[in-house]
Structure 1
Amino acid sequence: MTTSISQRTDISPDAAAASGEFSAARIGAEAEAQAAYSFVRVTLQQSPSGVRIVRSGPKPKPAPPKGPTPEEQQAAARAVEEQNERLTQQLNYLQELLNSVGGAVEDLQQQHRASLTEMQQAAVELSVVAASWIVGAAIDADMFAVDDLVAQMVAQLHREQPIRIFLNPDDVTLLEHLRNSSDVPQFAAAEVEFVPEPALARGICRAESSRTTLMTDMDDRLAEIRRIWMENLNDTQAERRTDDPSGRRFRRFPDRRHTA
């Protein structure tokens, strides 16, 4: 006997028919979830004497993921340690590279400073040689300031008058010409005697008092100028070293414009 039942009902766990079982019954059920009820279709091969409907339980929740095993944790720790070692080696290599580059830069700067010093000293020497040649040409042409040279000697011995000034005869003639052409007479207040001395080269002046003898010439004055230039050059180099104590900075070189 085949009985087909199509039924829409709300089913609760307590809803059941009389207790009983169908050993030969074949029951097929399909259920579709709706908002507040379910559809159940049951096909029986014979008349039921009792039906019990049991609601299925909730689906089991998936198990939470398992954490890493101790072996996996050890492997991860070793990987991190190896990475740190590689980073440390790279940092050490970079530090050594920077130190070597800094040392090379310092050597180059020292060579540059030494080369600059040599060039500046050579410039001073060339300037002195050029000035000496110009002074010699001026002396030969009666165009040098012999009166200034004599005035310096008199100024140093003004407390020890009378003073005798010894000059080359040509320089005595030039001195008289310069004094006569000047609006302000020189040595007017000094007791000075000018004595021609052929043994003296032109440009040389010797002054004598009762206690002191002085001698100077244009070469002495040029030597004094050279000394002053060299002192200024050394001071400039010391200031440059003070301005850059580390010796490790790259610098464009503005100093050449100020010191040369």
Structure 2
Amino acid sequence: MFQLLFLGLPLFLLLAPRKIYGWVLGVFVLAVGWLSWELGRPMSMDNDWGRWGQMIVMGAMLLWLAAYGLRALIDLIVSRKFRLDLIDYRPFRAGLAIVLTGWSGWQFASPIARWVGGWTLLIIGAAVSLFLLTLAWRSVRGRWVLIPVGATIIVGMVNILSWPPAVARAAEARAVGQPYCIMIGDGDGDYRPARTVLDLSPLLMRATESPHLRNQHALLIFRGGGGLHFSYRRERFEQGYEGDEYVDHPLCTPRPFFAAQLPLW
């Protein structure tokens, strides 16, 4: 996907006909939003890319911006002598709405969920998305913004709810029948025991990443030591940083099938 965007997007930004240019701009803003999020991650973006990968991604984004700027300059010069077809910016606005909704969810959903409760936030999100989609059905003018926002909220909630079973399977695969418990990042650079099923989702199981990585998303603790940390990218518990294996908590008591015994609420 990245290679295709890296090579193809600059050409489309420069050469695409004006009739489809709004769609190209929509893809452009989605790609920039995605890679900006990747650059902000405190870990390598793909296995061992590290800083080299970050440089490649930054170079790609600068190349896209340069292609967009050059096309805008050419259009400005040509428009002074010739009448140009109007560009339909609705796909661009839709892409921008998706990016801004996703960014807002990533930044604010987790702290709000710790305050009001994860399930409460999901119920509010479902109500908001339903309201926006209903409003879009009645409003033709704002449909290109309301539908992407509502759909992005729904996709985000489905993604959140898909993770607890995956985390539970990963824990059981590592435990192999041993008693264990799961400690999750508490949002303040420390850990706390998982208390409900929703604690095993990105809504609440999140490392503290600002201003730097201060803990892990989750730790798998065994009676004889543990500290395997969970990787969302690899969907498994793996060896953590030095010191994590000694993390302990008086309320985190290892027991068989810990994740399966967590209450839903």
Provide TM-score, normalisation by structure 1. 0.25
Provide TM-score, normalisation by structure 2. 0.24
